[in-house]
Amino acid sequence: MCGICGIAVPKKINRRVDESLLKRMRDTLTHRGPDDAGIFLSGGIGLGHRRLSIVDLSGGHQPMPNEDGQVQIVFNGEIYNHKDHRPMLEARGHRYQTSSDTETIIHLYEEFGAAAVQHLRGMFAFAIWDANQQRLLLARDRLGIKPLYYTLSQEGELHFASEIKALIESCAVKPELNYNVLADFSANRYTSGDETLFKGIHRLPPGHTLIWQNGQIEIEQFWNVSFAKDETALSDKQYTEQFDQLFRESVRLRLMADVPLGMFLSGGIDSTAIAGVMSKLVSDQIKTFSVAFAEREANELEYARMAAQAFNTDHHEIVVTPQQFFDALPAMVYQEDEPIAHPSSIPLYFVSKLAAEHVKVVLTGEGSDELLAGYDKYRKTIYNLALGRTYNFTVPSPLRRLVKQTIENGNGSPAIRQKLARTFLCVPSDIESIYFDNFSVFSRRRQQNLFTAETRARMMESDPYKASLALMRQSDAVTMLDQLLAADMKTYLHELLMKQDQMSMAASIESRVPFLDHKLVEFSARLPERMKLRGLTTKYILRQAMADQIPGEILTRKKMGFPVPVGTWLRGQFRHLLDEYVLSARAMERGVYEPDFVQNLVARHQAGENHAERLWMLINFEIWQRRFLDGEQQHVAESSEQATRVAYAAA
């Protein structure tokens, strides 16, 4: 795991890369690679690298050249099959100077050019400068496990980096709000396409390459997951056996390291499955790490301990206080470069810090839910769409209106009415309403009141679901479930992977995701729906594969996720954060949101309605604007009324 960056200046500009500027970009990424640093400069080309040493500790210095120095690479990630290619490459005359996976990428590039990515099994983001071809190749792994951002000037000057903050440090782009993605961000918690919240800064999409040559860029897709079903159907047992074999192979591959490794253990089925397989593949006691809050509704330690005991792990835990949570928030917004989509990012940072005291690599359970339909929202959507069609066809419209009015204005339990209001009884039976709006932060209807007229005038795109709907249409998936998985794999999962990468990298440890080995992903996508979602049972094939291998209480427990009681905290001791970041004159005067709508939202939350997700987004968005758009530095100030309180001061 490392941090990479670089600058490419076209010949027409006739300017050499500024070494001091490149070093500032590189050293902004020190947390990604505290073990080593390097640069390569050649006229208008500059590559920078920060290294976290995992494989070939003494011989993996970067930027790394090929034998004659005409090809240079900076690389972030791990290639798990790099040793498999070495005999072939040596037979073709390549002379290895190291035992690192980085050098294998170079030699594969020499043999296959940009098509080298097809031979790589692992997670990666890399840049290769080819002096003979006078071209720069950027590449990102199939699922987007490793990040890669870039900005291109009108003159064709390219800057790229593992994190956005390095691009800002390069002064290649002025930090400005990208109004074009506000609708998308406000509904989905993140931006769904290649644009970011920063105007002019893009992410290279997963499974894509970018070739820069004298100021021109060409982006091509080299991988896309197919949901087409195999012509020959297998039995449930045969599918399960194949899945189990691929999963075990994926875990085994991710044990490749010359440093200590462990895993994050939540007590859910995903991480417990990894622990069970991992325990049979290593001779030493596994080191496991868990995090929780003191609040009972946000504490899974009981199940994590159960899993740790089952596999006799060397188990470590940390309990995060609300004060620690909010004290860390501004620094974590800086680490993530964009507003933090999920409050669970903060405890992830704390458990990463804990793990870093013992290991350099951890395995994690990301990807299983998007792969195998693990979220309840899939089942609810499919049922609501089906029932809604029947309901609309058989029940007269006057009666449907009466039912809806009774639910919305009745005197029954608010909790029950709120649940019914999200079903086909009140919501139109179309995918935008029953799925996207239902699980959004600010739905299309709320966004009509959320944004000021000035903001709406600056938003070139107002459809928050355009990117996701396009992904559904572009996929070869036929069924609704597979279409939802296809979209989430490139949107929601991408955000989770960025959370995992940036929070672990903030603590200078590498995280690996066995569920996202591309061979396992390809197999799982082609599975019949019944092997993913069967009745009320999610992740059916994983449960079958692990039936006799993990504790029964974990195998059958309801998915908990990682709930963070932000809503309760904001009604109590941390109410002042709403005053500072949501209701303050400074936040209101930005003119992005309608003051009356925001004030009403806060008041309704304080009165007992649950708007925790919406207020979390507003707090994060303001912190992000202060840090990146206003250029302020975070610090912690003492207050007589609060033990410690987040504050800001001009840089």
How would you classify residue 232: left for phi > 0, otherwise alpha for psi between -120 and 50, otherwise beta?
beta
DSSP string, 183-200: HHHHHHSS--SSB-SBTT
Among 533, 446, 433, 609, residue whose Cα is nearest residue 425: 433
8 A C-beta contact, residue 64 and residue 51: no
Which residue(s) pair with 129 in the sheet? 72, 136
The tally of CA atoms less than 13 A away on the side-chain side of residue 369 is 21
Q: How far apart are CA 492 and CA 484, in angstroms?
A: 11
Report the pLDDT value the prediction gives residue 564, as an integer from 0 to 100. 87
DSSP string, 58-71: TT--SSEE-TTSSE
Cis peptide bond upstream of 63, omega within 30 = yes
State the first-to-last Cα distance of the chain, in angstroms, to the nearest integer. 31
The kind and range of the H/E element at 7 are strand 2-8
Q: How far apart are CA 203 and CA 138, in angstroms?
A: 11
Query: How many CB atoms lie under 10 A from the CB of residue 297?
Result: 10
Structure tokens at 277: 């397989």
Structure tokens at 340: 């933090």
Which residues have a Cβ under 8 Å from the Cβ of 181 and sit 6 or more positions away?
191, 193, 195, 196, 197, 461
3-state secondary structure at position 88: helix
Q: How far apart are CA 593 and CA 374, in angstroms?
A: 34
Q: 269-281 vs 236-253: helix axis angle to the nearest 10?
A: 70
Amino acid sitting at position 373: A
The kind and range of the H/E element at 331 are helix 322-336
Structure tokens at 306: 């159960």
8 A C-beta contact, residue 142 and residue 223: yes
Q: How far apart are CA 148 and CA 203, in angstroms?
A: 6
Q: How far apart are CA 350 and CA 322, in angstroms?
A: 12
Angle at 512 between CA 271 and CA 150, to 5 degrees: 135
Which residue(s) pair with 646 in the sheet? 636
Structure tokens at 19: 């070494």
Identify the segments of the chain with pLDDT beneath 70.
Answer: 1, 53-59, 296-298, 560-562, 634-651
Structure tokens at 534: 């069967």
C-alpha distances in Å from residue 103, one per residue of 129, 162, 456: 14, 20, 50
Report the pLDDT value the prediction gives residue 63, as an integer from 0 to 100. 95
Q: Where are the beta strands (DSSP E) in 433-585?
A: 510-512
Which residues have a Cβ under 8 Å from the Cβ of 39 and sit 6 or more positions away?
19, 22, 23, 26, 46, 47, 48, 49, 63
Torsion of CA 487, 490, 496, 498, to 10 degrees: -160
